[in-house]
Amino acid sequence: MAAESTALIDLGVLFGAAGVAGLVAQRINQSVIPWYILIGILLGPHVLGELPGPLGVEWTVRGVDLVASLSDGALADTDFVHVSAEVGIVLLLFFLGLEFNLDRLIQARDRIGKVGTVDFVVNFSAGLGLGWILFDGILPAFLTAGIVYISSSAIITKSIIDLGWIANDESEPLLGTLVYEDLVIAVYLAIASVLVGGGGDVGEALGQIGIAVGFLLVLLLAVSFGTDWVQRSLETDSHEFFVLRALGITIFVSGVALALGVSEAVAAFFVGMAFSSTDHVHDLENLLEPLRDTFAAVFFVWIGIRTDPMLFADGFVLAAIAAGVVLTAPTKLVSGYLGGRLYDLDVQRSVRVGLGMTTRGEFSLIIASLAISGAGTSLAAGTADTIYAFAIGYVLVMSVLGTTLMQHSDRIEAIVVPRLENAGDGIPQPGDD
């Protein structure tokens, strides 16, 4: 009984703290995402868990020591929090799929290929160079490249929805690049898992890649030919049953994808595209939006919970984080801007694409955890720990920087756009002679 009570108290603290953080962000007109992360750090086991009870006072209610519960880390990385964070990612990408249906994806395939390739070449190359300089090894460089290459689908999607960019022209290259990145990262993670595990071979890596690609092809076929079944699956007059069915299909498919080594975010995106072709889009948006925002908040708090500020006490780690930010924030700005221009957008909206692509997040953390799993085998323990600490700090800084750049895009555009228009970027646009 005491354990259940403590768990409920912990969950109450989590949701209440997230609500307060959101209120503060709203009052000062700032993006809520960095505040969710910050509250997760402050109330997580690495900060609150190290503090003694206030003034030594014990607050006990029917055998439950409230202070002990909190001082042990009220916002612990429990199974519930972890799964809820996964659901947050799934619902954010599901909504992305609702906005980006299959016909739209096929029509834009050439542009997505171009902007995605530019994004990959510029940023993955920068990551390889940074990783080689910092760690002097092929595998550490490969892991670092993945960490700095992949943008955060979850954070960027949340931001463009909150800022109203989802209905603007800049959403096209933003979403297209995210789709490309998520597909690339599915292959990347299969390769990285084999390399980090040690003892794996090329055949094993190709097998994992084959499974990932095969599953995605099945999803693509389901999106193409399964519209009637998806339409019928949600036919009900009950909002309760409607929500349960939509969540059941989305989360189940995402879970199967994760079990097969495919990104649950990519799977959720495809499921969203399947639903986007039905007559239920409006109901899905209205009924699932509160759930999306609630579980998305848990995801961002979870990032904070997993962040140990003491990881950044090492001077080399701080220097590595600073080098990563200084080198790779501009590369994303440049590749994003070029992506906007390749989509025939004007300079202002292309600058906005660059600002939007800057944020890194969930996939970088997955790669960081992968590095830890290889400690003592394929990676020296010290190198693995340093890569992990670098990734955590890098994601934290880039998530704050990226959302701040998007929040204040108008001010930045007022300064940057006139200079770019006067200088010219050399990329021909429709109508140019």
Does the pLDDT at position 433 exceed 70? no
Does the pLDDT at position 342 exceed 90? yes
Does the pLDDT at position 341 exceed 50? yes
Dihedrals φ, ψ of 375, to 5°?
A: -65, 130
Predicted local confidence at residue 343, as pLDDT: 92
Residue 332 structure tokens: 């994303």
Residue with tokens 């014990």: 58
Domain chopping of the chain, boundaries: 79-417
Predicted local confidence at residue 58, as pLDDT: 46
123 vs 128: CA distance, rounded Å: 9
Does the pLDDT at position 246 exceed 80? yes
**CA distances, 122 to each of 119, 136, 241, 328, 364 (Å):** 6, 20, 46, 9, 17
Q: Decide which of 307 and 385 is more confident.
A: 385
Predicted local confidence at residue 55, as pLDDT: 37
Predicted local confidence at residue 68, as pLDDT: 44
Does the pLDDT at position 63 exceed 80? no
**Within 10 Å of residue 411's Cβ, how many Cβ atoms?**
10
Selection from 269, 244, 316, 233 nearest residue 98 by Cα: 269
Average pLDDT score over residue span 107-134: 93
Does the pLDDT at position 126 exceed 80? yes
**Within 10 Å of residue 176's Cβ, how many Cβ atoms?**
26
Predicted local confidence at residue 354, as pLDDT: 95
Q: How confident is the model at residue 179 (pLDDT cuts 50, 70, 90)?
A: confident
Does the pLDDT at position 214 exceed 70? yes
Residue 393 structure tokens: 């700090």
Selection from 254, 208, 226, 304 nearest residue 94 by Cα: 254
Q: What percent of the chain has pLDDT over 90?
A: 29
pTM for the whole structure: 0.75
Residue with tokens 């980006």: 100
CATH 1.20.1530.20, domain 79-417, yes or no: yes
Which of 84-93, 141-150, 175-184 tops mean pLDDT?
141-150
Average pLDDT score over residue span 343-372: 87
- Secondary structure of the chain in HEC code, one letter for each residue: CHHHHHHHHHHHHHHHHHHHHHHHHHHCCCCHHHHHHHHHHHCCCCCHHHCCCHHHCCCEECCEEHHHHHHCCCCCCCHHHHHHHHHHHHHHHHHHHHHCCHHHHHHCHHHHHHHHHHHHHHHHHHHHHHHHHHHCCHHHHHHHHHHHHCCCHHHHHHHHHHCCHHHCCCHHHHHHHHHHHHHHHHHHHHHHHHHHHCCCCHHHHHHHHHHHHHHHHHHHHHHHHCHHHHHHHCCCCCHHHHHHHHHHHHHHHHHHHHHCCCCHHHHHHHHHHHHHCCCCHHHHHHHHHHHHHHHHHHHHHHHHHCCCHHHHHCHHHHHHHHHHHHHHHHHHHHHHHHHHHHCCCCHHHHHHHHHHCCCCCHHHHHHHHHHHHCECCCECHHHHHHHHHHHHHHHHHHHHHHHHHHHCHHHHHHHHHHHHHHHCCCCCCCCCC
Dihedrals φ, ψ of 345, to 5°?
A: -85, 155
Q: Please, what is the average pLDDT of the chain?
A: 82
Q: How confident is the model at residue 239 (pLDDT cuts 50, 70, 90)?
A: very high
